[in-house]
Amino acid sequence: MNNGISQKYQGVMRDLLQQHKGTGKRIELITEKGAYTMQAVDIIDKKTSEIKTRRYYGPDEKAVRDADYTNHGNSKQHPEWPHEHIFQWNNDGSFKRIP
């Protein structure tokens, strides 16, 4: 995760998000260096009513990671799912989802 949280606490935040996935709850992790907030929101497929993507937001309210629950119809690029995409934000406000 690239969300400003020190490497030491990355696993803790990931575990908290996993426990509260799909609830829309804001998760706050308080460390010796400050508080970090993250929220997870589910994006639902309108046709199937299943979770298509779980999007995680960082303390700046920008998306930091997507957990996709499909292979986007591209099994060569995404042979396993769910899989993750990390958001890389640029100074001009644009972003790339990696990979």
Q: Provide the pLDDT for residue 8.
A: 67
For the entire predicted model, the pTM comes to 0.59
Residue 22 has pLDDT above 70, yes or no: no
Give tens-digit pLDDT for 38-93.
Answer: 678 888 888 888 888 888 888 777 888 898 888 877 778 777 778 888 999 999 98
In this structure, what DSSP letter does residue 21 have? T
Instruction: Locate 10 and state its tokens.
Output: 């990355």
DSSP per position, 43-87: EE-TTT-SEEEEEEE-TTSSEEEEEESS-TT-TTT-SSSSEEEEE
Distances in Å between the alpha carbon of 2 and those of 53, 83, 95? 18, 16, 13
DSSP per position, 28-45: EEEETTEEEEEEEEEEE-
Residue 98 has pLDDT above 50, yes or no: yes
Residue type, 55: R
